Chains A and B, each alone.
Chain A
């Protein structure tokens, strides 16, 4: 009774499944991948078939968008099964090289992008020179920690999101600080890649760091960090907010006012980790709709039905077996172009990267722009594009 298949079936309570197929029906990658969630569960129940985990490269196609789990009428958690199967692969050690590089980089440098720890705050060099951001690691104290996250810290495109948020927070008079070079990976993607041991180490180290600096409230611009801090870190010790929640509060409380007109037609792409997984649909829209001159149009697949951009669950570091000629982000971009909008707004650095790539690969660079809601808000607040005030 200790074979891995029996273990999977019991551990993930697969016996409750009645094979309705809502999981596969809702799975965004099912149209381009061999990954078939319903069938995976069926094979798990039959106690065979799940033994050749090593041959199932399609397990890396899952974006952990969680649609399968959210739609299951029986309360089964297929996404957790996939993560569990990935864990078996990770322990075995035979996983794609690009994932190994990302995981080893997190272990060694605290980020999956292969960058040295002491270059984490380089994004702040893009801020106006006279602007001083508080830094908990330098002894400063503040009401909120702005947890920047690995991607906005190191990726040149999404560094602009972090810089915009700093501007927005200052405009709203929020007392916040960053962790400087002491910040390290939040672990959201690491856990979803199946590296549970590394995830445990990150949680432990991050909690120690938060406690040492008396941090109780965390603010993120990245929904992936927001999700993990809110749902998978010790619950009672932290209050976690996504930047759109805090800024929408500030707007309603009169602490922010949008002076700059933006005469554009835009649409909003709900990031999976913010929208369907955490129910934050209205705050980003509240911010967007309050901008003078701007028109918001809704995509057909919006809110709970938003189409995943394929940036989650470790997919930033692995192409795997999926058909790359049919990227979901390209479908998303085509939908936005068809809707006739000029800006595709989202609220996630990973979505920004996948969607912006898709704008380029589909040849829509001249007609469609991709922006994070923080960037849009900063323009409405009067920040000029060059980053100076």
Chain B
């Protein structure tokens, strides 16, 4: 079984005080720490678990500059066989559809039975690329997947729906799935593990290798353009509790008690 996993390197922003850059269309990235997109770490782990069970090869793909090699290498250290980076200055500014188009053109050149992506990316959060790849390639897809079973050339997948509902779908292979967090426990990648794959070659492909014209990709080829990015204005109604942790906990307790939050 040949499994392709599409991954993205993203900045970690949870504990950071973010600033908007001069263009007003992006955040200031200097000083940020980057890592493999969290959803993608579950996708690569799921691919490796399926490979361990059914045999085959896992290939990781990422669209991005040379810095993306870091995340691709992390996947190689986890146990993927091959890594391909799709890199071209013309790709800059690609929207979700165009990104899917670029990835799909690369996937067409490879043998594949299953394509996995994360459900969404931590940075732009579009959640489009996985399902768009499936549409472009004309194969079935399922999103928000939290369980995968493969029997012969068919696949049973569980989808995580709202209100605690779960849906089971049957799909024919080849197919594309977007993987939800929690489907597995992504393995740790040790520094020794990274060192072992540090010399492994990562193939780089550009627009011409994928027979894509520069006007079809990047900002030129995209229908969606970022107009503005901003931090929401501070609203009213929020009360920030101050003090040491014990004082804050005690104030919070009083508020919950006063408002009837405690039975």
Contact = CB atoms under 8 A, between A and B. Distances in A.
29 contacts: A90-B188, A91-B192, A93-B187, A93-B188, A93-B189, A94-B187, A95-B188, A99-B188, A100-B186, A100-B188, A104-B35, A104-B188, A108-B12, A108-B35, A109-B33, A116-B15, A116-B16, A116-B33, A117-B33, A156-B245, A157-B245, A195-B191, A196-B192, A197-B190, A197-B191, A197-B192, A197-B194, A198-B190, A200-B191
Main secondary structure of the interface of A (DSSP, over half): helix
A115 B192 contact: no
Contacts of B35: 104, 108
A261 interface: no
B58 to A, nearest CB: 15
A118 interface: yes
Contacts of A196: 192
A116 B78 CA distance: 25
Nearest to B196: A91
Nearest to B45: A93
Interface in A113-151: 114-119
Nearest to A108: B33
Nearest to A196: B192
Nearest to A113: B15
Nearest to A115: B15
Task: Determine the interface band of chain A, counting residues with CB < 8 A from chain B.
Answer: 20 to 34
Interface string A188-206: 0000000111101100000
Interface in B171-195: 185-195
A39 B185 CA distance: 30
Nearest to A93: B187
A107 interface: yes
Nearest to B192: A197
B226 interface: no
Interface in A74-102: 90-95, 97, 99-100
A97 B15 contact: no
Contact of A93 (B16, B190, B245): B190
Nearest to B12: A108
Contacts of A103: 188
B261 interface: no
B217 to A, nearest CB: 31
B208 interface: no
Contacts of A95: 188
B23 interface: no
A90 B188 CA distance: 7
Given A118-B31, A156-B245, A107 B187 contact: no
Contact of B15 (A107, A114, A198): A114
A93 B78 contact: yes
Contacts of A97: 185
Contacts, number: 51
Most buried by A among B12, B188, B194, B244: B188
A95 B35 CA distance: 19
Nearest to B35: A108
Nearest to A157: B245
A215 to B, nearest CB: 24
Given A100-B188, A156-B245, A93 B15 contact: no
Contacts of B186: 100
Interface in B1-50: 12, 15-16, 31, 33, 35
B225 to A, nearest CB: 31
Contacts of B192: 91, 196-197
A100 to B, nearest CB: 5
The 7 A-B pairs with the shortest beta carbon distances in the complex, nearest first, are A197-B191, A93-B187, A197-B192, A93-B188, A100-B188, A198-B191, A108-B33
Contact of A201 (B15, B191, B245): B191
Contacts of A109: 33
A156 B244 contact: yes
Nearest to A195: B190
Contacts of B12: 108
Contacts of A93: 78, 187-190, 193
A227 to B, nearest CB: 21
B37 to A, nearest CB: 14
Most buried by A among B16, B189, B195, B244: B189
Interface in B74-93: 78
A64 B18 CA distance: 39
Nearest to A100: B188
A114 B12 CA distance: 11
A65 B35 CA distance: 34
B184 to A, nearest CB: 11
A197 B245 contact: no
Contacts of B31: 118
Interface string B186-230: 111111111100000000000000000000000000000000000
Nearest to B186: A100
A117 to B, nearest CB: 8
Contacts of A91: 190, 192-193
B41 to A, nearest CB: 10
Contacts of A198: 190-191
A214 B110 CA distance: 54
Interface string A163-206: 00000000000000000000000000000000111101100000
Contacts of B189: 93
Nearest to B33: A108
